[in-house]
Amino acid sequence: MNRLDELFQRKKSGILNVYCTAGFPEADSTGEVMIALQESGVDIVELGMPYSDPLADGPVIQASSTRALANGMTMTKLFGTLKDFRKRITMPVLLMGYMNPVLQYGFEKFCAAAEACGIDGLILPDLPLYEFEHEYGEVIKKHGLKCIFLVTPETSDERIKKIDALSTGFLYAVSSSSTTGKEKNIGAQVDYFKRLQALNLSNPVLVGFGIRDKETFHAATRLSAGGIIGTAYIRAIEQSANISETTKEFINGIIG
């Protein structure tokens, strides 16, 4: 069973997914960060593949990508870093990034490498549904990977239902139509979350963009299966002298 399926069968609410950029804050930080997140009680790690033009990311995550690229992180180095990570990491791990570097690497080669490492799924925000249906979806499925799509408050019910039918793992509900890291009032989006609930979707829903502390995490989890934190965690570790301790303190502040 895919680790995401097992997680959502075992845990129906309060799921915490944390984003971190591969190769940040230092070139060799990726394994240390994932271990620290697992030991702190995180349910899912969303590992960002650094890219020079990340469309949906705000300045903090953009800066983390720039730093990771400056640290020498490439797709080849990423898979080298992940080669043996399953010896210590048991939680679901997703790769999040954009199509350009994936296509440059080779789409099937990328999926095969992700499968070989033990990656559970992909979040590719700029993968169009049409191309997924007619070209890439079967490749992703062939390699045992889940594919998670995003919806926003402006997405129509009809399109949400189609995205839900194509998604596997969970549905990524963007809390508002903006980039990551913006200060948002999650509570003001209650109608949006209730609309998602009323659609009786097949996939669990996790809320992202604007989740940064205990208050916003619990606001998101009241009407969804959980929340996704990225910018706030990147900020926490960017100057950290002890990633393990910083991570423990940060996550305890969310779920402790």
pLDDT tens, 117-161?
A: 999 999 999 999 999 999 999 999 999 999 999 999 999 999 999
% of the chain surpassing 70 pLDDT: 94
Q: Average the pLDDT over 174-178 and give the result.
A: 70
- Rounded CA-CA distance 59/103 in Å is 24
pLDDT of residue 202: 97
Chain segment 14-27, per-residue pLDDT in tens: 999 999 999 999 99
Q: Is 46 a catalytic residue?
A: yes
- The pTM of the full predicted model, rounded to 2 decimals, is 0.93
Mean pLDDT score of the chain? 93
Q: Which residues pair with 93 in a beta bridge?
A: 45
- Which CATH number does 15-255 carry? 3.20.20.70
Nearest to 189 by CA among 163, 214, 164, 155: 155
Range of weakest confidence among 76-85, 180-189, 217-226: 180-189
Structure tokens given for 231: 């910018």
Catalytic residue among 6, 28, 32, 46: 46
Judged against a pLDDT cut of 60, whether residue 75 lies above it is answered with yes
Provide the pLDDT confidence category of residue 58 given band limits of 50, 70 and 90. confident
Chain segment 94-107, per-residue pLDDT in tens: 999 999 999 999 99
Judged against a pLDDT cut of 60, whether residue 108 lies above it is answered with yes
- Rounded CA-CA distance 242/18 in Å is 18
Catalytic residue among 57, 120, 215, 249: 57
